[in-house]
Structure 1
Amino acid sequence: MKSKKKRTTGKNTGSFLFFSIFALLALCYVLGCSPKTVPPPSGHSKTAAKGTFKPYTIKGKTYHPLNSSVGFEEVGYASWYGPNFHGRKTSNGEVYNMEAMTAAHKTLPMNTWVSVTNLRNDLKAVVRINDRGPFVDGRVIDLSKAAARSLGVLGPGTAKVRLVALGYKKAGTGQGNKPARYIPPASYQKGPFAVQVGAFTSESNAWRLAASLRVKWQTVQVIRFDRGDRVFFRVWVGKTTNLVQAREMQAKLREQGFHKAFAVAW
């Protein structure tokens, strides 16, 4: 009888341990113990601030947020966004206020202050980047309603502008006798940089493009990137420690027909 009782107790103990482990695993899954893939921003999105430096893909195109804004200048078209997004979360986790001097940019570091000049009327404004976008070819910045108003963009809807990155604000409001002071982040010279020419889900297609590019370009690599839900094979051309040189390569590649080529940081 002792032997039988011992076997019965052992069986009950095993069952208890099994169901206890199962319950713990289920609880761990619910609480997020398993790895998660950070979703990319979808244009004025709800992505948390900690993910704003990670590459993200919109409409099949991958964007690589810059680690620095030193020396950053850009010319292109500005647009603006207002009531439909007012009160929603921006890409850095803030609540969007269309009456604040903020803007969305595809790659500049969050909280970078940028001087924006309307090339049509020479009006200038300083805005802080707190969102991602606009994801429209040719447009380089999406202004808040307040910023668009101050630049004369509110009526036309778009305007050609020049962007100059100022850095992170350290002190001062920029108004009256309180001039704003900005701290530049780390230098672009820390590179290295390359130019992405294409991204494929088929590895053979990526290597085929790489082989054709090696006819004119010495350094061509295929970089594997696991987005979490899909694996991409990126074709990168060149390698330089200077963003200016990377953009020169970008311009040459676009002239050769690779119209969506863009500079990336390694």
Structure 2
Amino acid sequence: MPKDSHGHLIPGVVSPQRQVPASIPRPEYVGKAAPTKHTGGDVYAPDEIALIRESGRIAAQAIQLVGESIRPGVTTEELDRIAHEFLVANEAYPSTLGYRGFPKSLCSSVNEVICHGIPDDTVLDNGDIVNIDITAFKNGFHGDSNYTFIVGEASQEVTDLVARTQEALARGIKAVAPGRQVNVIGRAIEAYAKRFGYGVVRDFTGHGVGAAFHSGLIIPHYDSAPQFDDIIEVGMVFTIEPMLTLGTHEWDMWPDDWTVTTKDKSITAQFEHTLVVTERGAEILTLP
């Protein structure tokens, strides 16, 4: 548990919010209903990019550490504990904790959960997949990343979905170049995903990140998105985080106002990096 008789996830028990030492600076939105609107743009100076890279490295290392504990029988609550303790030990604040009321230090999205799953007493089973999304805030900057892990051994269909979603991220990153519109990224991702008949989630996107957790810049992962026409510039920092499904791209929201599942309960995978635009393309800022 908690799964229903069809094996689909149901809400579990969420433990009390974990504490962060008072010595660790908080993002401005902690304790507020919503963050202050970001007005600083998405292009950063080299010294700021270095600080985003440091936050990104901590987030990536936290994901790596969590991944070492993913196995049948572990709960997503336990994975949250591991990440939380690592982040605060590195003097970083877990960006999700208190963001618009989110109660945990990572997002754990299992099987049909597209994104924003809340860690609870859900026990991972052999053959499940779980996406771990961690953002670290340190020195005034956020670094955001996620990775989908296979629990034990999954079916070939699910294993292929996970590998191809990671490849879709790589193709999206390769599409980045100064002077292009951001919608070229989604064009590259969906062109690849269509080869396998995968659904490409549209309503949850990549975003500007750095001084703000979400700056307002939107990075689409699907084709035919001409409305997202921001021009890619050198020094721009944003995430690419495609979500591919074995079925529909349509979704439902749980009553917690966070957990997003595929409408047809099909399995879905996601990968994400924070990157900075360079003169030749992009550099990943969320590497361990």
Q: Smaller-chain TM-score range?
A: under 0.3
TM-score when normalising by structure 1: 0.27
Bigger relative contact order, structure 1 or 2 (CA pairs below 8 A, ≥6 apart): 2
TM-score when normalising by structure 2: 0.26
Choose 1 or 2 for highest CA Rg.
Answer: 1
